[in-house]
């Protein structure tokens, strides 16, 4: 009885894991423009710095260890997107466009130009389910914002142009309809995106920012003197910058569990130990790129003690099993993996299976 109590107390003590930092930030005190800084970070670390919460923001700001630096690049830039919320993957700008001043797009002779969402008044094309072409021309001049509302109220949306084929169809539709002059399409630049494609859900703008002075402030710096608050600024300026290095790296090689452990310990730090929900989330971010249906974790079963444990020495407190079949201790030594598809929970596999695996790159 006393022994059981002691064991429970021990588990509680072992299980109170403090929140850990999942990214390491590196301050690079060399002045580069935003694009060069991005290239540098992608070559030497993971990407230009990303921050998705206040803790990360504090860490990021702390790593800027030169107090005389006024502005520091992070990986946030304005993005073009379709009114339908689709990301703009295909773009067909006329040479020299967008020239940075404006936030909405129009079509002229099949090519795209940027225009002022507010001040330019143009006819436009909506996407509709009621016509053969899927398109409707609205012969009324409006600013982009009103054109968008008009399409949403009366049809589907301002038209999206997602590939060359759709661009040719729209161009033909415009010339067949004998429309002259520029027409709005559904492309606009409104939101922000992180260089590493992580979600833009957290923001830390300085008051009055972003203000897009001169219309070409499509990149972001932090201001270390104001706890790292964000300011939009022209991408062509030169500043020092912060890169980040993700803690986890997926290795696309098919190795047994022991080979994977050796690989991680030699080339990185260790096979990943998923001792919190936070780390499970990071695992889910990388595991979908795997080529095997399961991916090794640093999770090992001991039949002697009848327990799972992490190779880092931690007790398995946080759990995310699909099935834990460790009860039937057969001859094969079992190790833990995470499913690369579905709801990405943990399963136990014979350690001789050949799977992709996840290494951690640095200690906490």
Ligand X SMILES: *[C@@H]1O[C@H](CO)[C@@H](O)[C@H](O)[C@H]1NC(C)=O
Query: What does the DSSP assignment read for 309-326?
Result: EETTS-B--S--BS---T
Minimum CB separation of residue 127 from ligand X in Å reads 4
Binding positions for ligand X, rule: CB under 6 A? 77-78, 99-100, 117-118, 127, 134, 143, 145-146, 156, 159-160, 166, 199, 216, 218-219, 235, 252-254, 262-263, 266-267, 285, 291-292
Q: Please tell me the distance from the alpha carbon of residue 358 to that of residue 112, in angstroms, as a whole number.
A: 43
User: Parallel, antiparallel, or unpaired for β 239-246 and 270-271?
Assistant: unpaired
Minimum CB separation of residue 4 from ligand X in Å reads 40
Return the number of the residue (14 or 152) whose C-beta is nearest ligand X.
152
Check if the beta carbon of residue 97 is closer than 8 Å to that of residue 121.
no
Torsion on CA atoms 90, 93, 96, 101, rounded to nearest 10: -90
Which one, of 123, 124, 127, lies nearest residue 160 by Cα?
127
Which one, of 85, 78, 264, 47, lies nearest residue 162 by Cα?
85
CA 339, 343, 345, 348 torsion: positive or negative? negative
Return the number of the residue (139 or 266) whose C-beta is nearest ligand X.
266
Return the number of the residue (168 or 302) whose C-beta is nearest ligand X.
168
* Number of Cβ within a 10 Å radius of residue 190: 12
Return the number of the residue (60 or 355) whose C-beta is nearest ligand X.
355
Return the number of the residue (52 or 324) whose C-beta is nearest ligand X.
52
Minimum CB separation of residue 58 from ligand X in Å reads 21
Minimum CB separation of residue 235 from ligand X in Å reads 4
Minimum CB separation of residue 6 from ligand X in Å reads 40
Minimum CB separation of residue 70 from ligand X in Å reads 21
Which residue has the CB atom at the shortest distance from ligand X?
100
Minimum CB separation of residue 87 from ligand X in Å reads 12
Return the number of the residue (17 or 156) whose C-beta is nearest ligand X.
156
Return the number of the residue (99 or 176) whose C-beta is nearest ligand X.
99
Distances (CA, A) of 165 to 83, 151, 174: 19, 22, 14
Give the three-class secondary structure for 207.
Answer: coil
Q: Please tell me the distance from the alpha carbon of residue 67 to that of residue 244, in angstroms, as a whole number.
A: 20
Length of the chain: 364
Return the number of the residue (329 or 349) whose C-beta is nearest ligand X.
349
Tell me the residue ranges of DSSP E strands in 217-340.
219-223, 229-233, 239-246, 248-255, 270-271, 294-302, 307-310, 334-339
Minimum CB separation of residue 297 from ligand X in Å reads 17
């Amino acid at each position: 009885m006393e022994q059981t109590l002691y064991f429970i107390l021990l588990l509680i003590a072992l299980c109170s894991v403090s929140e850990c930092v999942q990214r390491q930030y590196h301050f690079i005190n060399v002045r580069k423009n935003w694009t060069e800084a991005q290239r540098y970070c992608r070559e030497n670390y993971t990407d230009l710095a990303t921050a998705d919460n206040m803790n990360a923001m504090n860490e990021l700001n702390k790593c800027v260890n030169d107090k005389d630096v006024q502005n520091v690049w992070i990986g946030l830039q304005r993005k073009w997107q379709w009114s339908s919320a689709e990301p703009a993957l295909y773009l067909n700008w006329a040479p020299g466009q967008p020239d940075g001043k404006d936030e909405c797009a129009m079509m002229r002779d099949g090519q795209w130009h940027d225009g002022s969402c507010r001040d330019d008044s143009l006819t436009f094309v909506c996407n509709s389910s009621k016509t053969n072409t899927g398109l409707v021309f609205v012969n009324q001049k409006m600013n982009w914002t009103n054109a968008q509302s008009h399409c949403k109220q009366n049809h589907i949306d301002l038209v999206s142009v997602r590939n060359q084929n759709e661009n040719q169809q729209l161009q033909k539709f415009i010339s067949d309809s004998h429309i002259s002059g520029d027409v709005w399409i559904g492309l606009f630049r409104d939101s922000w995106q992180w260089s590493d494609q992580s979600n833009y859900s957290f923001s830390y703008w300085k008051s009055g920012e972003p203000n897009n002075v001169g219309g070409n402030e499509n990149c972001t710096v932090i201001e270390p003197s104001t706890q790292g608050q964000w300011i939009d600024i022209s991408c062509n300026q030169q500043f020092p910058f912060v890169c980040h290095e993700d803690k986890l790296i997926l290795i696309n090689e098919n190795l047994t569990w022991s080979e994977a452990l050796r690989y991680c310990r030699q080339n990185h730090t260790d096979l990943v130990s998923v001792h919190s929900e936070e780390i499970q989330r990071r695992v889910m971010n990388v595991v979908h790129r795997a080529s095997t249906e399961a991916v090794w974790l640093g999770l090992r079963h001991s039949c002697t003690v009848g327990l799972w444990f992490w190779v880092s020495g931690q007790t398995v407190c946080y759990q995310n099993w699909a099935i834990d079949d460790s009860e039937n201790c057969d001859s094969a030594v079992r190790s833990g993996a995470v499913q690369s598809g579905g709801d990405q929970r943990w399963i136990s596999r014979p350690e001789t299976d050949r799977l992709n695996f996840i290494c951690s790159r640095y200690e906490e």
